[in-house]
Structure 1
Amino acid sequence: MAKNKKRRSGGGSGGKKKTQQQRKGQPRPAASPPAPAPAASSPALWGVGLALLLLSVAASLMLVLQSLGNLSLPGCGPASACGRATSSVWGSVPGLGWPLSHVGLAYFLGIAAAWIVSGGRLPAALRWIVRLSAVGSIGLIIVMIVGGYLCPYCLAVHLANLAFVGLLELKFTGQPMRPALRPIGALVGVFVIATGILAAVQTREAQAVEERDEDALSQSTDAIIEGGGEDAGFTGRYHYGPEAAPVRVVIISDYQCPDCKNVESELRQILATRDDVSFSAKHFPFCTECNWKAREHNMNPHPNACWAARAAEAAGILGGDEGFWKMHHWLFDRSGSFTQAELQQALPTLGFDYTTFVETMGSPETLARVEADINQAVELGLRQTPMVFINGVELTGWRARNALTRAVDRVAATNPPPLTADADRPPSALQKGVNDWLAQPKRTLPSDGSGWAWGPEDPAVDIVVWGDHLEPFSIELDRRLRAVAESAPDVRYAFRPYPFDKACNENMQPRSPQHDGACDAAKAVEAAGRLAGLEASWAMHTWIVENPRSFSLDAAQRKARELGIDPSRFATLVASPEVAATLTEDIAAPRPLGLRGVPFLFVNGRQVPFWRLKGEPLVERIVEVARGGEAG
């Protein structure tokens, strides 16, 4: 056995040496050619995939900026499809309240980073995440279609995402990147960093909004304690609580309005714990079926709100105070939405006969009552619901935490006497417009490099407006402000250009109205001033705003000749870099102030939130108040 083992061992050693010698004497085989690049490495397809991801990033970013209040997207106001989509239950992560647009932006940034790192060869784990995102996009598109709020920006996000997933599944069939840690790390890292930044910005914005709401709440509560205005007898048709009460709450609301439901919920707790508060309700349904103001603005965000309001009025007609409040609570509990079958099932439990109730609800009387409330709300300057009044004075800042409860507590602590609604005196829409201006913070406006303001150097009233020389509302406001400035020697007025013309304004928002020639109009005013002084600048400005449809550079040259300006020098200066630079400064100046559209008006450093009130001289009244020393 030992000999055999040794022989096998020796033979093995010798064989090993022989094999090594044979390998040394033989040429090594040539290296095999590289395998063909996987489909994912195609530069063109990789670029298409990245472009689709960046499109989703861009659309998500616009929605994020809109939600933070830093950007006003066209067609994305609170009552629009976009606004209703982002404010719906599907607009945020359930249980967290974190906006879905924030999640989308962080996700698409992360996937874009993973796409770049992997050269388009996403590992299997990320491919499944991408597929799940496609399922989410399809689901959200269906929700938007069924809910009637097909937001174009949301749709752009989801369609770009679906196109990316389709490209990944159909074209990118190469081997995934190995190891997979780099692209997965890129996704996770970018997602976490982006989410952290968004959380910090969201927190800062929320704090700023909370501070503004707290200031508004404090100021309006002070005004409630001091007393109201002139018109008497402000109340609804039905009352909850004592008729004569120290604290009298009136709320103009919409049964389908989420903010109204929140305020209603807080008020119910107040009424359940206090016996010194009375409440009456008025209607302002944001629905075109009964609201002429909604039809005027083509706003129909709450399609059942009119019938909800008429149902409440029918209950009041048939059941008095008790009947009205039963229906009022039932409607708010279901956010103002009901079908015929649901109404038929609920009416007996509320104490109503179905046939009688439906006949009453559809009668002209209920419509007339709702329309009367709408008209009064417009007269009071309502711009959103809810509109809350305590003892006849509007309570602003109601979004602050427990705002209504705290306001009621402060008012009640002053021991006001129990009074009826005859003592309540809400201000008119005109006075509300003035009050809204007075409530604005005083801002330091960017300096005007041109210096073409009309009026004294040290005015009692300093008016600055950013506008577009060819835009109708800018023209209307300018006409009224020039009339004010011409009749008041202590008023200074400056019209600073913000043309809605892509030829010089890169800050224009998507789908903004384009006013071709507005850049040239602004340059013409600047050139006239540089060549012939202040009066020539205003003469050119006035001629343009009075003839917007016929404006052209040729026409402006002819006007320059009338003003005694050499047309060739004028044309050269209009086209000069110096004038273009001044216009660029004017365009950039109002952005930090929050410009979202034109005209953008300031009086004595305070922004005028609303300057146009049908049939009322609101701007002129604001100037009059400013001349009297208020908000100076």
Structure 2
Amino acid sequence: MHQFRVMAGCPGGSPSPGPPEEGCRIAETPDGDGGWDVTPGSTNSIREGHKVGQHRKGGRNRNRQGNRAGSSAPADQGRGPAAPRPETSPSRRPAPAPMPREATPSSAPTVGMFSLGLLFALSAATASGLLAAQHVWRVLLPGCGPGSACDKAAQSVFGKLPGLNWPVSFLGLAFFVAMAAAWIAVFLRRSGVPATMRWMTRLGAAVSLFYVGVMIANSADYLCKYCIASHIANFLFAGVVEFAGRSRDPAAARSLRPAAVAAATFALMSAALGVADFGVRSSATEKAEAQLKDSTAQMARQQGSAAPAPAVEGSVAGPAPAPAAVDYSRKVFTGRHRRGPEQAAVRIVIFMDYQCGDCRRKEAEIEAVLKAHPNVSFSPMFFPMNADCNPLVPEFDKRHMNACWAARAAEAASILHGEEGFWKMHDWLIAKGGSFTDAELAEGLAQLGFEYTRFVQVMQSPQTLERIREDVAFAEAVGLQQTPMIFVNGVELRGWSAEDAVGRAVRFLLGQNPPPSIAGPEVDRPPLANEKFMEDWRRARVFIPPGAGRWARGPDNARIEIVLYGDLHQDLTMVAYAELQKFMAGRNDVRFVFRHFPLHEECNIFAELYKDVLSCTAARALEAAGAIRGAEGFWTFFDRTIANQASVSDQFYNALALEMGIPLEQFVLRTQPKNQETMALIHSDCETLAGFGLRGAPYIFVQGKLVANWRTPSGYLLIHDVLREADAQAPR
């Protein structure tokens, strides 16, 4: 029986009946027992085809048949005995040459695995980045408008890190970019995935799992599609990292390099986001400070002078609106409830919503002012951002679902328990953020000493609803556009978002010489909506520079420029254009530009109201005609669309193209939804308007400035007043 042993320097290192590794040779053992010794550099080698220990039929070992290891295949038997080889004594045997140590096998991620992981990490970063951009630059994302799931999630307690006021979208973007950088570092090292990389991705997946649970638990409010996309991509990335090859090198497996790369990238991204956010906030603060300075100066000018002449709705030039049921120009400007003296040096009125965070913050400022200055009064009025009690709020706006019930609860407390009851409930609602369940309301009423059954009956009665609607009508009369809307001595406090704006305005007034007169709310006469909207246009910044726009009618050097963003299959756009035509008719000093904002998602990702796909049909037809026939084609299609709005269809436009001699095949090709050139032109218009923070149609710009209320909520056509003033002020 032959024995084998592997000598030092041979790979393998343990006895084996198999063939020796390449580079090892077989020699007899010095004990003369007929065994074999696997020794580096030995002269007796095993040739290919002869396995040591392999037997012939009958069970006899080949070496016992005279075929020693190193002899040829059986076909060589006829060649005679092999030439004798000199024996080499163990003492003269050459020293084994040192063998290089074999590198530990690597299991680095393949190129395909790496690419897939990087794709998932960057996809998660993109989704988070869009949400971060919306927070910083107020970018309007499709499906993320007011009251959307994204908006609700961002405004919730889960939208920011507790105690830091740091948006979760910032955290997600920084983390996913950091993971992408760490993943690249792992791939470049080519030594497998270390444990630190796995644990970082597991931590990220755990956080994603938490937020997914929050969304599922609040599926009616928080199912944000961008959030869902980022979390799904994060789970997929974690899966790729988990199944990628582990590092077999102990040192590489413990490597902290990916963690260091991730930490550095995370810090840099967080710093960049912080700087960007600070820059935008600084710009907003500068604007608010300028507005606050202007408002306090206006208060000072008005202080001590006679009360301004009452503004009468419709007194500005233009068509007079229908007579209002209430003459708000003569109505005392105050709410039903008041803290502080009736006759006061400074009188604060606020239109608020209990679920409005800014309203609650300003309320805290006002309470601090009341404690410091006994000659200041405060009167709240309600403007809930909820269509259940506010006809001015769109039905689709679901931001403040409990705002109406909160306001009605405050009024119910007033009806049942007078002013003391109102302020008790008011303070409770402020503390609750305007949100409460039935159980929380019952508990709160018990704490306040109110009887539950009677309170709920009054809260749900028409009386409380009527009170809220009275406040809403008053807010509409003075041109409210958002909450909070604050007035100090009858002057709107612009720039209220500045730090301690209310306190600073009050201290400014009280520090005047002579100090403000002690008076009641009857002397406060804020301008009504029409004059306010005119003033808003005067103060507006120029959004659109002169000469912009692809399709224009009128001279390039016109004195007056009008830009209409519209949807040619929408009735309100038709109304707006008809009013503009009244002004433009017969004039050669007006430049009119039309830009698309079709209200359908097929061609406008920024559209929030999906009306009719024919809106996109019209937009594509106009752009196709313009591309083929230039301005003549565009404006011919524009005019015919205006005149035949009810007949708009693909067949209508095909017939019009043939009538104009436009090759039908070329026209049809350009009007297809998949035609990238046409769709890009429409998207460019939509993206520009969305970049201004605006969605919907129509929007009118005069001299580059937005006419935010070209037709007021009461139906008054303010656009005529704006155009007349622009005409009077433009150089001739």
TM-score by length of 1: 0.82
Q: State whether residues 183 and 258 of structure 2, in contact with CA within 8 Å, keep that contact through their aligned partners in structure 1.
A: yes
Compared with structure 1, are the counterparts of its residues 387 and 555 closer, same or farther at alpha carbon in structure 2 (3 Å cutoff)? same
How far off its partner does 1:336 sit? 1.9
**What is the aligned partner in structure 1 of residue 224 from structure 2?**
151
Q: Deviations over 1:518-537 (max 9, x none)?
A: 2441242465455x5xxx75
Correspondence 1:54-73 to 2 at 5 A: 54-73=122-141
How far off its partner does 1:475 sit? 4.8
Compared with structure 1, are the counterparts of its residues 549 and 158 closer, same or farther at alpha carbon in structure 2 (3 Å cutoff)? farther
Correspondence 1:127-526 to 2 at 5 A: 127-147=198-218, 148-169=221-242, 171-172=243-244, 174-175=246-247, 178=253, 180-227=255-302, 230=311, 231-232=329-330, 233-294=332-393, 296-347=394-445, 349-414=447-512, 415-443=515-543, 445=545, 447-448=547-548, 452-454=552-554, 457-459=557-559, 461-467=560-566, 469=568, 474-486=573-585, 491-497=590-596, 508=605, 515-516=616-617, 518-525=619-626
1:619 to 719, 723, 729: 719
How far off its partner does 1:163 sit? 3.1
Give, as a single letter, the amino acid of the residue that structure 1 aligns with 2:336. Answer: R
Q: State whether residues 267 and 404 of structure 1, in contact with CA within 8 Å, keep that contact through their aligned partners in structure 2.
A: yes
Q: Deviations over 1:525-572 (max 9, x none)?
A: 465455x5xxx753432213444575578755754676xx55359968
Task: Say which SS state the counterpart of residue 532 (structure 2) adopts.
Answer: helix
Q: State whether residues 295 and 494 of structure 2, in contact with CA within 8 Å, keep that contact through their aligned partners in structure 1.
A: yes
**What is the aligned partner in structure 1 of residue 11 from structure 2?**
none
Q: Distance in 1 between matches of 2:180 and 2:111?
A: 15
Give, as a single letter, the amino acid of the residue that structure 1 aligns with 2:623. Answer: A
Task: Say which SS state the counterpart of residue 41 (structure 1) adopts.
Answer: coil
Q: Deviations over 1:403-444 (max 9, x none)?
A: 111222233344332222222223333333323222212356
Q: State whether residues 554 and 588 of structure 2, in contact with CA within 8 Å, keep that contact through their aligned partners in structure 1.
A: no
How far off its partner does 1:58 sit? 1.1
- Larger CA deviation: 76-85 vs 440-449: 440-449
Structure 1: gaps spanning 5 or more residues? 1-17
> How big is the alpha-carbon RMSD for the aligned residues of Structure 1 and Structure 2?
4.0
Give, as a single letter, the amino acid of the residue that structure 1 aligns with 2:147. Answer: A
How far off its partner does 1:211 sit? 1.4
Q: State whether residues 80 and 301 of structure 1, in contact with CA within 8 Å, keep that contact through their aligned partners in structure 2.
A: yes
Q: Distance in 1 between matches of 2:346 and 2:285?
A: 25
Between structures 1 and 2, the one with greater helix share: 1
Q: State whether residues 255 and 331 of structure 1, in contact with CA within 8 Å, keep that contact through their aligned partners in structure 2.
A: yes
Compared with structure 1, are the counterparts of its residues 462 and 597 closer, same or farther at alpha carbon in structure 2 (3 Å cutoff)? same
Compared with structure 1, are the counterparts of its residues 450 and 371 closer, same or farther at alpha carbon in structure 2 (3 Å cutoff)? closer
Task: Say which SS state the counterpart of residue 563 (structure 2) adopts.
Answer: strand
Q: State whether residues 528 and 560 of structure 1, in contact with CA within 8 Å, keep that contact through their aligned partners in structure 2.
A: no
Q: Distance in 2 between matches of 1:144 and 1:317?
A: 39
Task: Say which SS state the counterpart of residue 239 (structure 1) adopts.
Answer: coil
Q: State whether residues 349 and 487 of structure 2, in contact with CA within 8 Å, keep that contact through their aligned partners in structure 1.
A: yes
Q: Deviations over 1:238-295 (max 9, x none)?
A: 111111223221111111221111010000001111122211111122234433344x
Q: State whether residues 527 and 574 of structure 1, in contact with CA within 8 Å, keep that contact through their aligned partners in structure 2.
A: no
Q: Distance in 2 between matches of 1:426 and 1:367?
A: 25
Task: Say which SS state the counterpart of residue 378 (structure 2) adopts.
Answer: strand
Give, as a single letter, the amino acid of the residue that structure 2 aligns with 1:210. Answer: T
Q: Distance in 1 between matches of 2:412 and 2:667?
A: 72
Q: State whether residues 452 and 529 of structure 1, in contact with CA within 8 Å, keep that contact through their aligned partners in structure 2.
A: no
Compared with structure 1, are the counterparts of its residues 100 and 510 closer, same or farther at alpha carbon in structure 2 (3 Å cutoff)? farther
Q: State whether residues 113 and 187 of structure 1, in contact with CA within 8 Å, keep that contact through their aligned partners in structure 2.
A: yes
**Residue 567, structure 1, aligned to residue 662, structure 2:** yes
Q: Distance in 1 between matches of 2:509 and 2:337?
A: 23
Give, as a single letter, the amino acid of the residue that structure 1 aligns with 2:352. Answer: S
Task: Say which SS state the counterpart of residue 585 (structure 2) adopts.
Answer: helix
Task: Say which SS state the counterpart of residue 377 (structure 2) adopts.
Answer: strand
Aligned residues: 600
How far off its partner does 1:400 sit? 0.9
Q: Distance in 2 between matches of 1:364 and 1:580?
A: 53
**What is the aligned partner in structure 1 of residue 195 from structure 2?**
124
**What is the aligned partner in structure 1 of residue 162 from structure 2?**
94
Give, as a single letter, the amino acid of the residue that structure 2 aligns with 1:255. Answer: Y
Task: Say which SS state the counterpart of residue 53 (structure 1) adopts.
Answer: helix
Give, as a single letter, the amino acid of the residue that structure 2 aligns with 1:158. Answer: H
How far off its partner does 1:151 sit? 1.9
Task: Say which SS state the counterpart of residue 594 (structure 2) adopts.
Answer: strand
Give, as a single letter, the amino acid of the residue that structure 2 aligns with 1:242. Answer: P
Task: Say which SS state the counterpart of residue 278 (structure 1) adopts.
Answer: strand
Compared with structure 1, are the counterparts of its residues 199 and 339 closer, same or farther at alpha carbon in structure 2 (3 Å cutoff)? closer
Task: Say which SS state the counterpart of residue 592 (structure 2) adopts.
Answer: strand
TM-score by length of 2: 0.72
Q: State whether residues 474 and 598 of structure 1, in contact with CA within 8 Å, keep that contact through their aligned partners in structure 2.
A: no
Compared with structure 1, are the counterparts of its residues 500 and 283 closer, same or farther at alpha carbon in structure 2 (3 Å cutoff)? closer
How far off its partner does 1:603 sit? 1.2
Q: Tell me the percent identity.
A: 34
Q: State whether residues 182 and 261 of structure 2, in contact with CA within 8 Å, keep that contact through their aligned partners in structure 1.
A: yes
